[in-house]
Amino acid sequence: MPEITAAAVKALRERTGLPMMDCKKALQETNGDADAAVESLRKQGIKTQETRVGRETLAGRIAIYIDSAKGVGSMIELQCESAPVASSDDFIALANDLAKQLATGPGAKTPDELLSQPSPSKPGQTLAQQKDDLFNRMREVMVLARILRIDGASSGYAHHTGGVGVLVEYSGGNADVAKGVAMHVAASKPKVVSTTDLDPQVVEKEREILSAAARTEGKPENIIAKMVEGRLKNFYAECVLLEQAYVKEPEKTVGKIANEAGLNVKQFVHWVLGKD
């Protein structure tokens, strides 16, 4: 067996981020072959992961990547077990790599399909290998819970903690206004883009509730219908994006801001970490 030098152990430690003793043992088992030692450590990490399947992943982050030139936007949710790991530089880098590859690569229908693709920041590695190597260092279960790609002009917003993410697909206007709309969605939590997107049965039920309330107030039947239509505006302002007061300019609705900018909001997707 070749001598395992301190320099070789140190080099493997710097390459993998794993404890010195683990690196020395791996080198001993692979007769000093550094590449084989890396693979051995990775396989051992996978075995350890299998023993931790089912552990709760209550922390994590949502990451977004916008490729303006390509006209594509992506969003992913990567979960882990604890807040310190979720806020670590390596975990953030992995989340960002996942979002970037989803947007700039061929796309993926499932998390596993995305993980099988190359890592944008780790040449020669797949995203799955990057994730496994990070597990080896952090010793926490990591789950790629959700992925989303929009093939169209997109803008997005992710809270700095990674707990909230919004993607907006649009046409016309400009990316800055679209990003402002994404930030508004994160703050105001609308359910749909426009009134025409609401379930007619939901609107009719609300109309019935408002009509009954007006009768209780003793309003004449001949004015109830007009009153109800007026009060429905408050209902729309609660759940319809274009009818809400814009958070940056409350004197205007989002719809007015969009019209002034020539922006057509096609759809939005709003994620909260750990919630479907």
Name the residue ranges covered by the structural domains of the chain.
6-51, 59-152
Q: Give the ranges where 69-163 is alpha helix by DSSP (H).
A: 83-86, 89-104, 111-115, 127-138
143-151: strand order across its sheet: 59-67, 72-80, 143-151
Average pLDDT value over all residues in the chain = 89
pLDDT in tens, 25-81: 767 777 777 777 777 777 776 666 566 666 788 999 999 999 999 999 999 999 999
pLDDT at 152: 96
Residues 18, 40: Cα–Cα separation, whole Å: 12
pLDDT at 241: 98
pLDDT at 200: 93
Determine the average pLDDT of the residues in 146-174. 96
- Contact predicate 243/195, CB 8 Å: yes
pLDDT at 56: 84
Write the CATH number of the domain with boundaries 6-51.
1.10.8.10
Which of the two residues, 105 and 56, has the higher pLDDT score? Answer: 105
pLDDT at 168: 98
pLDDT at 82: 94
- The domain 59-152 is classified under which CATH number: 1.20.1630.10, 3.30.70.2340, 1.10.10.10, 3.30.479.20? 3.30.479.20
- Contact predicate 27/6, CB 8 Å: no
Percent of the chain at pLDDT exceeding 70:
93
- Predicted TM-score (pTM) of the model is 0.80
Q: Which of 77, 62, 93 is nearest to 147 (CA)?
A: 77
